[in-house]
């Protein structure tokens, strides 16, 4: 029986960078809870941003933010993994040299940015709805940095080829969507976060169902008995998944969860019917 459901956000529940989650999902979260199933949102986004998407059911949920660097389970912080200051300084130095790119430094409380590009700031504040602090030098930020990210509109793969080789053995490097590349501490991964949640709640791999669309979601698949790539997922993600759901715009995750609840209800009715026959 499924006891944990975890899903990515961008490209899986919504279109990249959008905040229009189908409100029917809120009802599904409540129904899952009644069946003893915990619902988790697993995203590269900022914790407060992801949480806001799920009001008013957020207190009953688990949030895996910043690709797994920050995990909150039913309002209790269970994990936070910071990047060493020396590595932050070295990567920031390299990111400042990149042409036609923007970068951000993420802490638990806010996202810090040196860029004064109004279009980029508007995307962060009004598009993603992030809590943003504009600073002259991100290296002066006192808060621990849990993720660094590079943004290049529609062409992040070209930057990945340029910068990844130097940092792959020092930090966890993942491409997130078409626009972003994220850097976290080496142990950080959505799959590692799922494992910590499973240990905390006593949930087995075969009792876990996950959904994703991009490379930073593949780590979750190894920690789930039932893994789904949405129809618009990258080919590598589809190859790693056990099942293929409908696309994000066609509410593929919602359809699978509705089917799960219907199946559970059917099993319950059949079980009660057998009892009555005895």
Instruction: Summarize pLDDT for 76-92 with one digit per residue, the tens.
Output: 999 999 999 999 999 99
Residue 141 has a CB neighbour count (10 Å cut-off) of: 15
Supply 73's token pair.
């389970």
β 4-7/38-42 pair status: parallel
Domains in the chain, start-ordered, CATH in brackets?
A: 4-80+188-277 (3.40.50.1000), 85-184 (3.30.1240.10)
Instruction: Summarize pLDDT for 88-137 with one digit per residue, the tens.
Output: 999 999 999 999 999 999 999 999 999 999 999 999 999 888 999 999 99
Which residues 6+ apart lie within 8 Å of 173 measured at CB?
160, 164, 167, 181, 182, 183
Instruction: Summarize pLDDT for 124-177 with one digit per residue, the tens.
Output: 999 888 999 999 999 999 999 999 999 998 888 888 888 989 999 999 998 877
Instruction: Summarize pLDDT for 222-261 with one digit per residue, the tens.
Output: 999 999 999 999 999 999 999 999 999 999 999 999 999 9
| Between 19 and 221, residue with greater pLDDT | 221
β 180-184/147-151 pair status: antiparallel
């Amino acid at each position: 029986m499924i006891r944990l459901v975890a899903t990515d956000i961008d490209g899986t529940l919504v279109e990249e960078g959008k905040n229009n989650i189908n409100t029917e999902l809120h009802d599904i979260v409540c129904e899952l809870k009644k069946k003893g199933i915990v619902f988790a949102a697993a995203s590269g986004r900022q914790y407060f941003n992801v949480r806001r998407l799920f009001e008013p059911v957020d207190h009953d949920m688990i949030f895996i933010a910043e690709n797994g660097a920050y995990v909150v389970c039913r309002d209790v912080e269970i994990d936070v993994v910071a990047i060493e200051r020396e590595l932050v300084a070295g990567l920031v130095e390299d990111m400042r040299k990149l042409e036609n790119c923007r970068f951000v430094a993420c802490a638990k409380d806010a996202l810090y940015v040196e860029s004064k590009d109004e279009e980029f700031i508007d995307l962060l504040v009004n598009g993603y709805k992030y809590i943003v602090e504009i600073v002259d030098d991100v290296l002066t930020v006192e808060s621990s940095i849990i993720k660094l990210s590079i943004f290049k509109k529609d062409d992040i793969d070209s930057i990945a080829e340029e910068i990844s080789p130097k940092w792959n053995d020092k930090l966890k490097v993942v491409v997130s969507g078409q626009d972003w590349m994220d850097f976290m501490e080496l142990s950080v991964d959505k799959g590692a976060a799922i494992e910590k949640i499973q240990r905390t709640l006593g949930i087995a791999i075969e009792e876990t169902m996950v959904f994703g669309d991009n490379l930073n979601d593949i780590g979750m698949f190894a920690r789930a008995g039932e893994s789904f790539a949405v129809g618009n997922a990258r080919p590598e993600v589809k190859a790693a998944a056990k099942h293929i759901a409908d696309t994000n715009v066609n509410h593929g995750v919602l359809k699978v969860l509705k089917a799960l609840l219907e199946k559970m209800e059917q099993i319950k009715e059949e079980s009660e019917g057998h009892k009555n026959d005895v």
